[in-house]
Chain A
Amino acid sequence: MTKKHEALLTGYFGAEQESFYRLAYSYLKNREEALDAVQTAVCRAWERQDHLREPEAVRSWFYRILINVCTDLLRQRKRVTYVPLEDLDTGGYEDPPPADESLAARVDALPMEISTVIRLRFYEELSLKEISAVTGAPLSTVKTRLYTGLKKLRVSLEGVYDT
């Protein structure tokens, strides 16, 4: 029982570590901090492997740990400002889009809950159900955040609700 996930985790960490780094880097924008985040998340996951109940859910389980580590690091930097969801200006057509900024910069400027959904959906191609498992938010909330985020980014996409 104590060793049941060791082979699974070793294989998963070996195969997917580049994705971990990319995701961590997309939050932290700093090479050393992203490496630290990956190492810490791997350590924590290994230590708490008994909490992984369904081996097939290893990705959403690990991403949850990794994203918690990244957001903790961001908080320690205190550069993050949180905007409550209800205060968000979802924008209207009359507002000019921030033309001088790349889409990537606009994703980073989104509130954390929302940018997390955008990153996981489009960068890492997780299903909305998986995103719900990673973030601990209900599926309906994930959908709302995705929709809000896209509106905010002035991007419309087909097929974003595919789960």
Chain B
Amino acid sequence: MKEFEKLKREYQETPIPPELNDRVQAGIRQGKRRRGVRLLRRTAGAAAACLVMTVCVLNLSAPVAAAAADLPVLGGLFQVLTVREYDTTQDGIQYDVSAPGIAADSDLAQQVNQEIQERVDALTARAQQDWEDYKEAFFATGGTQEQWGERQMDVIVDYEIKSQTDTTLSFTVDFGEGWVSASLERYCYNLDLAEGRDITLQDVLGENWVERCNTAVQDYISHSTGEDGSTYFFPQESGGFTTVDEDTAFYLRSDGVPVLVFPEYSIAAGAAGIVEIPVEEA
């Protein structure tokens, strides 16, 4: 008994690092973000389910279709629909997939649909491979079925329509994989379906678009730097932000303002997640 008391005393005396509370708070912030994605996905899923129902009705009934054409939401050149949706668990992987598709008589729309479908397939294949590898390593190093227990991987695909007019459409699609670590990729689509082409930052911001974007990003970074100089953003000399270019992702907010989207770890620490920076009127 004495030995155990000594053992317990030693255990209680484990020195506690001063940054423990910061790390706990960082865990909470991280959890909030990831939870946000889940909840958003659920809400979008419910809304999308309604849309799918509506489309079935439209196909079935000519009078209903005629009536719906007067509705602004379903008017215009196109509709965005959830083409693939499933919320299911299979072999320990939970799929929460709601992938969008554009219903429009347009080559551009078909091209975008195909690209999204390929990305969903690629993500699913990669997730299954990662999961198999992890499982194999787990049991190879002596894990038991009981310990494996409730382990689960999440595969998340979700989309959000950012803005739309009669002829243009801006939306984002999130692809996420979560298990030991989590990663989230966001793809942006800005389409002009009347002209059948992508909308560029230059279309929205004019000739000096690079300069305007860079100023917005630099302002954003300096505003997010604390008084003690602490910031999530990497310094320019060690992989931080330098300039935007044709490949910089963005979407159009409903007020028409373009919002730049930087992937996780691209210009800031992973704790900052995906960074979104609006380019407002100067």
Residues of A within 8 A of B (CB): 2, 9-10, 13-14, 17-18, 20-22, 25-26, 31, 35-36, 38-47, 49, 68, 71-72, 75-76, 78, 80-82, 103-104, 107, 112-113, 122-123, 135-137, 155, 157-158
Contacts and interface: CB of A to CB of B under 8 A. Distances in A.
B4 A26 contact: no
A76 B19 CA distance: 24
Interface of B: 1, 3-4, 6-8, 10-12, 14, 16-17, 19-21, 23-24, 26-28, 30-32, 34-35, 38-39, 137-138, 141-144, 146-147, 149-151, 180
Contact of B14 (A21, A35, A47, A71): A21
A123 to B, nearest CB: 5
B14 A22 contact: yes
Given A17-B24, A157-B1, A35 B17 contact: yes
A135 B16 CA distance: 25
B20 A17 contact: yes
Given A26-B11, A44-B31, A82-B142, A72 B180 contact: yes
B23 A122 contact: no
A21 B31 contact: no
B3 A103 contact: yes
26 contacts: A13-B27, A14-B21, A14-B24, A20-B24, A21-B16, A35-B17, A36-B23, A38-B23, A39-B24, A42-B28, A42-B31, A43-B34, A46-B30, A47-B38, A75-B141, A76-B137, A81-B142, A82-B142, A103-B7, A104-B7, A104-B11, A122-B4, A123-B8, A136-B149, A155-B4, A157-B4
Given A38-B23, A41-B27, A82-B141, 6 more contacts: A35-B20, A42-B27, A43-B34, A47-B35, A80-B142, A123-B11
Contacts of B141: 75, 78, 80, 82
Which 6 A-B pairs rank lowest in CB-CB distance, beginning with the nearest?
A82-B142, A46-B31, A42-B27, A39-B27, A43-B30, A43-B31
Interface residues of chain B: helix, strand, loop or mixed (majority): helix
Contacts of A41: 27
Contacts of A38: 20, 23-24, 27
Contacts of B20: 17-18, 21, 35, 38
B34 A22 contact: no
B180 A45 contact: no
Given A38-B20, A46-B32, A157-B4, A137 B27 contact: no
A40 B7 contact: no
A45 B180 CA distance: 13
B4 A103 contact: yes
B236 to A, nearest CB: 28
Nearest to B38: A47
A98 to B, nearest CB: 13
A138 B151 CA distance: 18
A136 B30 contact: no
Most buried by A among B3, B8, B10: B3
Contact of B147 (A36, A71, A123): A71
A70 to B, nearest CB: 11
